[in-house]
């Protein structure tokens, strides 16, 4: 399944250094896991985390969840060895932090061969170069790094994320223009369900495929927010049925709930139903 066709509602970071969390993740209802060797791992644990992670992945048990390994930057003492090791761990993709330009991905690809790549979008240069980064032939997905971005931009945290909007919007545009996946940044207050739900809804409305998470308590909120609601599914079915009906009479526009339905709306409706099917398929795998 390509990154675009698989559900990415909930994407959980797991520190590669924590065997208990690595084990727990085997039973968590997440769509994807980011096995982290970067910020969630202390300097002292960096090398050992690589081995701990390799063991956990060799043992398996992560089912249909997408497996992404976040390595350290290639400008660090661990990056190159992380990249070479990660390429052999059976993951679905390798995620490079702080991507500023397509050349950063070329450097990674030279170490990881045919592995699909993902990019952390979390620097001002990354925002300005988002379109060129998204166009990289090996790139299959982007992850917003809103903590690093806030630090670099020296902005204040606000519930409406206004200071982030330009960057978030540029990255969504870039990902959509190049047909790759894009996942929103983390919500740090992991015990604040209401705040998380509001931020998930904002991300969903902006076109993100899902949310990156830091704690299991955040999974249900993200899965709900990024799944089509019952009302959306019902509307999609009625739009398709109404459009089929008018088409049979030689017309190209139907009306449902007082709004026009044309072939582009039917395409969106079909995507909604396909998403539900993909989510259900994940549950049964």
Ligand X SMILES: CC(C)(COP(=O)(O)OP(=O)(O)OC[C@H]1O[C@@H](n2cnc3c(N)ncnc32)[C@H](O)[C@@H]1OP(=O)(O)O)[C@@H](O)C(=O)NCCC(=O)NCCSC(=O)C[C@H](O)C(=O)O
The pairing of strands 254-256 and 259-261 is: antiparallel
245 is in an annotated binding site: no
Does 216 engage in binding with ligand X (CB under 6 A)? yes
Enter the tokens of residue 166: 């330009």
Q: Which residues pair with 120 in a beta bridge?
A: 143
Nearest distance in Å: CB 125, ligand X? 15
Q: Residue 203, interface with ligand X (CB under 6 A)?
A: no
- Options 126-134, 143-151, 256-264, 269-277: segment touching ligand X (CB under 6 A): 143-151
Q: Does 146 bind ligand X (CB under 6 A)?
A: yes
Q: Is 70 annotated as a binding residue?
A: yes
148 lies in the binding site for Mg ion (CB under 5 A): yes
Q: Do 109 and 137 form a contact (C-beta atoms < 8 A)? A: no
For residues 174 and 153, the answer to whether their CB atoms sit within 8 Å is no
The answer to whether residues 170 and 127 touch, using CB atoms and an 8 Å cutoff, is yes
Tokens at residue 276, please? Answer: 């539900």
Strand 210-213 and strand 254-256: pairing? unpaired
Q: Which of 64, 107, 189, 214 binds ligand X (CB under 6 A)?
A: 214
* Three-class SS state of 76: coil
Q: Which does 15 bind (CB under 5 to 8 A by kind): Mg ion, ligand X, none?
A: ligand X
70 to 129, contacts with Mg ion by CB under 5 A?
122
Q: What is the DSSP letter of 88?
A: T
Q: Which residues are near ligand X by CB under 6 A?
A: 12-15, 20-21, 24-25, 36, 39-40, 120, 122, 145-148, 185-186, 190, 214-216
Pick out the residues of the known binding site for substrate: 70, 122
């Amino acid at each position: 399944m390509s990154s675009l066709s698989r559900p990415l509602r909930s994407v959980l970071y797991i520190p590669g250094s924590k065997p208990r969390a690595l084990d727990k993740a085997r039973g968590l209802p997440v769509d994807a896991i980011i096995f982290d060797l970067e910020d969630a791992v202390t300097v002292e644990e960096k090398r050992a985390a690589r081995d701990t992670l390799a063991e956990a992945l060799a043992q398996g048990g992560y089912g249909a969840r997408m497996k992404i390994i976040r390595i350290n930057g290639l400008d660090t003492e661990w990056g190159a060895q992380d990249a070479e090791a990660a390429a052999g761990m059976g993951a679905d993709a390798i995620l490079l932090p702080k991507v500023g330009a397509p050349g950063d991905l070329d450097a990674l690809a030279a170490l990881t061969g045919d592995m699909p790549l993902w990019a952390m979008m979390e620097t001002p240069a990354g925002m300005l170069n988002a379109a060129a980064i998204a166009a990289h032939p090996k790139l299959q997905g982007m992850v917003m790094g809103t903590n690093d971005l806030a630090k670099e931009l020296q902005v204040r945290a606000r519930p409406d994320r206004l200071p982030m909007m330009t960057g978030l919007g540029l990255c969504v545009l870039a990902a959509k223009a190049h047909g790759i996946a894009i996942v929103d940044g983390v919500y740090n207050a992991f015990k604040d369900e209401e705040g998380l739900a509001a931020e998930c809804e904002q991300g969903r409305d902006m076109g993100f495929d899902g949310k990156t998470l830091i704690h299991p308590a955040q999974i249900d909120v993200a899965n709900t927010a990024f799944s089509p609601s019952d009302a959306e599914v019902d509307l999609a079915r009625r739009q398709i049925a109404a459009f089929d009906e008018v088409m049979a009479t030689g017309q190209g526009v139907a009306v449902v709930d007082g709004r026009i339905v044309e072939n582009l709306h039917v395409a969106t409706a079909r995507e909604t139903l396909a998403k539900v099917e993909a989510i259900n398929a994940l549950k049964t795998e």
